[in-house]
Amino acid sequence: MRRASPSRSPAEGSIGLVEPRIAHFEEPFELQCRETLPGFDLVYETYGELDEIRGNAVLVCHALSGDHHAAGYHSPEDAKPGWWDTCIGPGKPIDTTKFFVVSLNNLGGCNGSTGPRTVDPDIGEPYGERFPTVTVKDWVKSQAMLADVLGISRFAAVIGGSLGGMQALQWAIDFPDRIAHAVVIAAAAKLSAQNIAFNEIARQAIQADPEFHEGRYHQANAIPRKGLMLARMVGHVTYLSDDSMGDRFGRELKSGDIGSAQDVQFQVESYLHYQGTSFSERFDANTYLLMTRALDYFDPALEFEGDLVRVLAGTQAKFLVLSFLSDWRFSPARSDEIVDALIEARKDVVSAKIDAPHGHDSFLLPNERYFDVLGGYLDAVARGGSST
């Protein structure tokens, strides 16, 4: 199986220029938390063509800080393509010559879909901290409504990494007849105490920032930059493996004289500052809180007394479950829990552990075996159509 190498420019193996669209939903939308939104928008992009029988649609679900712009470029001047451009495009694992790919910004996001930055029609100012809690289940429900708008009655596959993988799993549970394949990458059936603890540190960092103003920073004309920077730093360090950070930065010094031990700065520190600062310029703090809470709450087995086998018993999708050996935040053992429960529930599941060095971030990065397994699986899906 020959696969195009990761694209370097819009011209090479890229879907090229893409344009976001907005779907308006005017009906009241009841959330799992029992609050109701008077309506909402979802911003989304599509790549490739929907076939005649509307059987080749693939939904890509984003993780904590992702959005709808997964592939291609918004303008020829863009410095970077979408966040999963290495994986989505003509000849790539999620092959746009075969699939009609749908990618959206989730409800509660900060890149165009209804979220804390949206003006609450009732009071004429942004929802901010009053935006209701959203869950993975809510997202999946809203994604099914988007599918209706696009005329997609059943996805050939729902695909996601990390929090995105949790959405793929929830799809299989909540809409068993609307999903042929669930591709669950670097995810878990629920977070561990350590995962929750890291999320809580990130939330505390944001909330402790005086510029947060208890979530009303918009009204105060402020941005909790330092809190967001810290939150991103925590995420960054825990999403990378120790080895990959070592390979990239080692203990190289950025400045200073270790003999005098004054003003020494290691490369890894300046990298983290840069990453954290740039994140704080683009991401909304209230959305960050919402997204990490959605991660924490995710536990589809909860209403089945924690029995994952029972909750998966009702699924009809076939599953591909992928994990990465160097990922210590969502380790292969967590994926094994899903695989074992699927086997016990007598479901059709293929799984692989990929030897990639980049920790949890591996799910975002090109890797030959990863792309071969994912691309090979999806090739078979494309050949079989949505009834596979």
Which of these is catalytic: 162, 280, 331, 362? 162
CB of 320 to its own copies, least distance (A): 25
**251 touching its own copies, by CB under 8 A:** yes
Positions 217 through 236 that interact with its own copies (CB under 8 A)? 226-227, 229-230, 233-234, 236
C-alpha pair distances (Å), 145 with each of 42, 47, 76, 276:
10, 19, 32, 34
**38 touching its own copies, by CB under 8 A:** no
Interhelix angle 225-239/193-208, rounded to 10 degrees, is 160
Positions 255 through 274 that interact with its own copies (CB under 8 A)? 258-262, 264, 266-269, 272
Taking contact as CB under 8 A, which single stretch among the options 58-66, 143-151, 169-177, 199-207 is the one that binds its own copies? Answer: 199-207
Positions 320 through 359 that interact with its own copies (CB under 8 A)? 328
**DSSP 3-state of 326:** coil
Among 249, 277, 344, 366, binds its own copies (CB under 8 A): 249
Beta bridge partners of 37: 29
Which tokens is 267 given?
A: 């490369």
CB of 205 to its own copies, least distance (A): 6
Positions 119 through 148 that interact with its own copies (CB under 8 A)? 133, 135
Q: Which is nearer to its own copies, 35 or 125 (CB)?
A: 35
Look up residue 260 and give its DSSP letter.
Answer: T
Closest Cα partner for 118 from 278, 287, 294? Answer: 287
C-alpha pair distances (Å), 255 with each of 229, 237, 262, 265:
21, 21, 10, 5
- Cβ–Cβ < 8 Å for 191, 296: yes
Which of these is catalytic: 138, 327, 361, 386? 327
**DSSP 3-state of 187:** coil
Decide if 24 is catalytic: no
**17 touching its own copies, by CB under 8 A:** no
Which tokens is 194 given?
A: 């350590």
**String of contacts with its own copies for each residue 152-191, x by CB under 8 A:** --------------------------------------xx
Q: Exposed, middle or buried: residue 210 (CB in 10 Å: 0-12, 13-18, 19+)? A: exposed
Decide if 360 is catalytic: yes
What is the spatial distance between Cα 347 and Cα 61, in angstroms, rounded to a whole number?
22
Taking contact as CB under 8 A, which single stretch among the options 14-22, 46-54, 97-105, 249-257 is the one that binds its own copies? Answer: 249-257
Q: Exposed, middle or buried: residue 123 (CB in 10 Å: 0-12, 13-18, 19+)? A: exposed
User: What phi-psi label fits residue 87: left (phi over 0), alpha (psi between -120 and 50 degrees) or beta?
Assistant: alpha
**194 touching its own copies, by CB under 8 A:** yes
Q: Which is nearer to its own copies, 78 or 281 (CB)?
A: 281
Residues with a catalytic annotation lie at 162, 327, 360
The footprint of its own copies (CB under 8 A) covers 32-34, 133, 135, 190-194, 196-198, 200-201, 204-205, 208-210, 226-227, 229-230, 233-234, 236-237, 240-242, 245-246, 248-251, 258-262, 264, 266-269, 272, 293, 296-297, 299, 302, 328
